[in-house]
Structure 1
């Protein structure tokens, strides 16, 4: 299995980025009966190589550019094997894996510029990390114990984020019982950053209407265009208005590791909480999200329970308090920290920062190529690593043409862009996140796109 996976990674460029799952294989996977008798592991592995391996989403491949998915590393893959062999539950207790996660969290706070004694926990991804931040912020506005015991009791708590914020922020407000209408989506400026004047106006209007502003979320790398909200200014507003300042840095937070990009994230170190994913620009295999919270006491007060069967001791296996189940909803937790630690320790922050810079340089190369082609049009500034553009066409045909071209290129196996909508126009979106992607890969994609666009125009 290891030899085959090494060979698979080494030969990625030789195969398609993605290929559609054949109907017969899809049917076979879906209809297989629950086994009453065991099967030969060799037979099962053969099914993996024939039915699963060729038909994954393709984010390991250097031509994968559609969504913000990291490419993974062999070091992380091997760490996953070791963690699975150890089979440790990191909900708590006195054990070395827990200490390693604490070290990873300390490193993360240090990389982001937050205090090293900040609290945190590794989670599935930024959707859960942002949700934990929202819950902690609701408890911070008053006596958290009262809210945990009796709920919000109709308190009109109100939060703020830009219209460009990831949808998991709105969903987090939903899951927290606040309702999506409690999140005010503030318009963005021409650079797709939160308009701070409109933010200030919205806060004033909400206070005048009897609502209770409590949280402000800024994005460090928005999902559509990679723009960065004015974090320092947002931090100032949060301080003036006594709001919890949260930053969703799902992929963009790690741009702090790049000396040439770090100034764009000024203000992230002032956050009360920060969400980020190591499985994006950190190149750690899925899943590896993280939440860092400045106030460890407030964080623990949001989740900790006093239960007899989870009693803590000063020595023995039940020592080591506080446990990670005190900082999030999960009691059963895998050893994610090992693959994060292995990746960070193998490559170091300097080399990871160079990789981030390299991804952004490839994105700029792609943007330059688009500017040189008269039939193409950039639709948003290239702030970090995301390029949004379209093939020019009459308005009545443009949206459908660009959507069709995205599907054409995906099915060709040459590359995997995605589609989004920018200022009401359908856009082809490329996110350069994979450390394996080079300028040559984007040129190959552009050549295929222009050829396919010409064929469609001729028809």
Structure 2
């Protein structure tokens, strides 16, 4: 009898040994989250840890326990810091433990959510339906989970381009079918919109930058005037993007007014609600955000104010048929079937450029099921109240200057000192870097009317008022030390 050939596999020779590594990793991961309140917000990765990772491409196997120890010692301690309560930079959510569980189980299942009949596809449909429900889009609208709002914006504008082009832009190209298309977004809009115009062949110059008013919201009168000017020049306005929660200051555009202009002018109305989607769950802000229900498309992130682990975003598109027509085009080896594994509908690869798609919906589902909308809403309300608290503290301190009113969850201020504008801008940049390197807090900077601002974005479920008090104390101490010359410039 012929001896069976031993064929290679990547399964472990000793499952119990690997199980021990997994148990250790889960314990370490939970300890990492549980201890987030008591550790510096950011620790610069040391050169020794960087050096430990740079090695020739491994040719032979390394035991999983040894691989894990390298990660544990040289990677885990040196993240970006957004799991910690004093992280206020940019707009990063803190994640949540239940979401991690969803991510872990998604990796175990290893599903490709591009299509076919399996539960990962079903669960994405569930999450998309929930999102249509709370945004107010109709049940027949379509949706697709993405890496984030940046990719979601590309999909939305691609669909708008398909609808408004003079011909089949996918087949004939932008130079033929998309000639003269122009769109609009405010000067405060996220850069992903300009990037989408670039990637889609429209060109960044085809995106008009609409001025903002004193509240940093899109100027509706200026929008109308720009549309009229472009039409008179023989161009074809086709879309306008409004923002719920600008990254600089958290401003909310006049969604109702801009939507009315878009529909009157026959434009695709897109809403960027990357983190500002949380306004729908705030009694104080819902009225301004709710008119997004009239949009042709909405893009937002789960990994920001919904606290889902990175990465997870979504695009919702009112016209499901147009969405499908923009991206569908499966080859015969991907044909659907009435029976078997190939039967599931829709195939999500027909609604975006990716055939290979990760099971993002599971960590979203774990988060929303575990905490409920009420739990997420409570965090949103807390962060908004914390922004008011910080705003009041800044206003009461003569050594600080508020640079923009807190319209949602972002506060922009600066430390003031008797020096010229350039020196004052540099001083505030240095204070922010000092705060980060000391592990006190991690705000970011932005520029408002030529002035450098210390920008504090509150989108972290672990943040406490005492963390904000520590931030202000740090700003005042470091500002005083620098102006006294005790810290090298």
Alpha-carbon distance in structure 1 between the residues aligned to 2:208 and 2:41: 39
Q: Is the 8 A contact 1:94 1:317 kept in 2?
A: yes
Q: Is the 8 A contact 2:415 2:475 kept in 1?
A: no
Residue 153 of structure 2 is aligned with which of 121, 124, 130? 130
CA deviations over 1:238-290 (Å, ceiling 9, x no partner):
01100000000000013212233211213111110000000000100000010
Within a 5 Å distance, the mapping from 1:123-202 to structure 2 comes to 123-142=146-165, 146-154=168-176, 155-202=179-226
Q: Partner of 2:100 in structure 1? A: 77
Matched, 1:104 2:130: no
* Structure with max Cα Rg: 2
Alpha-carbon distance in structure 1 between the residues aligned to 2:73 and 2:293: 47
Please state how far the C-alpha of 1:142 moved relative to its aligned partner: 4.2
Alpha-carbon distance in structure 2 between the residues aligned to 1:5 and 1:396: 44
1:259 match: secondary structure:
coil
CA deviations over 1:275-321 (Å, ceiling 9, x no partner):
00000001000000100001100100000004101111112111122
Q: Partner of 2:271 in structure 1? A: 247
Within a 5 Å distance, the mapping from 1:196-275 to structure 2 comes to 196-275=220-299
CA deviations over 1:308-340 (Å, ceiling 9, x no partner):
011111121111222000001110001100110
Q: Is the 8 A contact 2:182 2:239 kept in 1?
A: yes
Alpha-carbon distance in structure 1 between the residues aligned to 2:196 and 2:449: 25
Alpha-carbon distance in structure 1 between the residues aligned to 2:363 and 2:49: 32
TM-score normalised by length of structure 1: 0.98
Per mean C-alpha deviation after superposition, the further-off stretch among 305-314 and 85-94 is 305-314
Alpha-carbon distance in structure 1 between the residues aligned to 2:238 and 2:113: 32
Q: Partner of 1:455 in structure 2? A: 481
Q: Is the 8 A contact 2:165 2:181 kept in 1?
A: no
Q: Partner of 1:317 in structure 2? A: 341
Matched, 1:433 2:459: yes
Residue 305 of structure 1 is aligned with which of 309, 314, 329? 329
TM-score normalised by length of structure 2: 0.92
Q: How has the CA–CA distance of structure 1 residues 307 and 396 changed in structure 2, closer, same or farther, with 3 Å as cutoff?
A: closer
Where structure 2 has 5 or more consecutive residues not aligned to the other structure, the ranges are: 1-24
Matched, 1:339 2:363: yes
Aligned-residue CA RMSD (Å): 1.1
Residue 111 of structure 2 is aligned with which of 65, 84, 88? 88
Please identify runs of 4+ aligned residues in structure 1 that moved more than 3 A.
Answer: none
Within a 5 Å distance, the mapping from 1:373-384 to structure 2 comes to 373-384=397-408
Residue 52 of structure 1 is aligned with which of 71, 75, 84? 75
CA deviations over 1:375-416 (Å, ceiling 9, x no partner):
111111101101111111322411100000000000010110
Q: Is the 8 A contact 1:107 1:116 kept in 2?
A: no
Aligned residues, how many? 457
Please state how far the C-alpha of 1:198 moved relative to its aligned partner: 0.6
Please state how far the C-alpha of 1:97 moved relative to its aligned partner: 1.1
Matched, 1:65 2:88: yes
Q: Is the 8 A contact 2:92 2:304 kept in 1?
A: yes
Q: Partner of 2:427 in structure 1? A: 401
